[in-house]
């Protein structure tokens, strides 16, 4: 799986926007990493760098964004990526550019199925189709105090972590493509409709509601790795706010993930 080099300086582009977040606290997460220089670029401007030619200055991409969703309307409007963007993005994978997806990035480009396949799962704000089957909107639950279990104990992304640690963060009841990922982390929370709220209700003005939302139970996976074309990919579901950004466990995960996708 490769040894992580903690001494080689790296440059990363962090694509942001789409979900409210505290920018200074989020930037401090990356500033805590020795030898990693980051550049935060908002969507849609960050899209212009997502092709092999424009991506040359960066060793890896980190995604903390939700492109393809227009929250200015209720319910949100969905937007497809351009053919040019899709080609450039897939060319990045063929070229071996490492990618780390954090938290709400799993909701990006809901009308582009291949994007979900790259990440290894999907979070939907509206009922949609996933892998040829109709699915309900996904679930969310804020400020959950839960135990994180490390199942990928021998993987470089979990190097230096205890086998279990605590986080207080938002969790998702979402689609996970378990047939195409290598698990890293699970949560001790209960992943059923009784313990989550409907994302569709939330974006149509009814927060913290799971009425008339018969979502099936979901997997408790909250972190994984995979390889797509020639690129290493990591998804880490935690990352909602400053309490998580400042967690030494989370910081170690994100730093390890960045270094692993570049190795």
| Cα(108)–Cα(251) distance, integer angstroms | 23
76 within 8 A of 125, measured Cβ to Cβ: yes
Name every residue whose Cβ is closer than 8 Å to that of residue 93 and which is 6 or more positions away in sequence. 99, 118, 228, 229, 230, 231
pLDDT tens by residue, the chain, 263 residues = 445 555 568 999 999 998 889 999 999 999 999 999 999 999 999 999 999 999 999 999 999 999 999 999 888 999 999 999 999 999 999 999 999 999 999 999 999 999 999 999 999 999 999 999 999 999 999 999 999 999 999 999 999 999 999 999 999 999 999 999 999 999 999 999 999 999 999 999 999 999 999 999 999 999 999 999 999 999 999 999 999 999 999 999 999 999 999 98
User: What per-residue confidence (pLDDT) applies to 56?
Assistant: 97
Domains and CATH numbers, the chain: 10-262 (3.40.50.880)
User: What per-residue confidence (pLDDT) applies to 27?
Assistant: 97
| Cα(121)–Cα(110) distance, integer angstroms | 11
The residue whose two tokens read 């709400």 is: 104
DSSP state for residue 136 in the 8-state scheme: -
- Both tokens of 174, joined, read 């979402």
User: What per-residue confidence (pLDDT) applies to 8?
Assistant: 63
Burial (CB < 10 A; 0-12, 13-18, 19+), residue 62, is buried
User: What per-residue confidence (pLDDT) applies to 7?
Assistant: 55
Cis peptide leading into residue 75 (ω within 30°): yes
Beta-strand pair 98-102/60-65: parallel
């Amino acid at each position: 799986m490769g040894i992580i080099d903690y001494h080689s300086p790296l440059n990363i582009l962090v694509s942001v926007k789409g979900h409210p977040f505290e920018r200074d606290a989020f930037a401090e997460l990356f500033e805590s990493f020795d030898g990693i220089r980051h550049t935060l670029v908002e969507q849609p401007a960050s899209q212009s760098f997502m092709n092999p030619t424009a991506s040359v200055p960066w060793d890896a991409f980190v995604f903390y964004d939700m492109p393809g969703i227009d929250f200015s309307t209720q319910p949100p409007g969905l937007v497809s990526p351009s053919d040019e963007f899709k080609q450039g993005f897939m060319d990045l994978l063929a070229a071996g550019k490492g990618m780390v997806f954090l938290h709400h990035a799993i909701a990006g480009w809901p009308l582009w199925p291949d994007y979900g396949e790259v990440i290894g799962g999907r979070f939907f704000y509206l009922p949609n189709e996933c892998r040829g089957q109709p699915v309900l909107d996904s679930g969310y639950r804020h400020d959950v105090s839960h135990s994180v279990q490390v199942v990928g104990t021998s993987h470089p992304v979990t190097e230096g972590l205890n086998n279990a640690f605590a986080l207080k963060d938002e969790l998702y009841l979402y689609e996970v493509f378990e047939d195409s990922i290598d698990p890293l982390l699970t949560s001790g929370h209960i992943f059923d409709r009784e313990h989550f709220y409907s994302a569709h209700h939330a974006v149509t003005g009814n927060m913290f509601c799971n009425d008339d939302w018969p979502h099936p139970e979901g997997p408790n996976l909250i972190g994984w790795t995979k390889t797509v074309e020639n690129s290493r990919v990591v998804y880490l579901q935690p990352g909602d706010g400053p309490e998580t950004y400042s967690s030494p466990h989370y910081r170690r995960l994100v730093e390890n993930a960045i270094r692993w996708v570049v190795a």
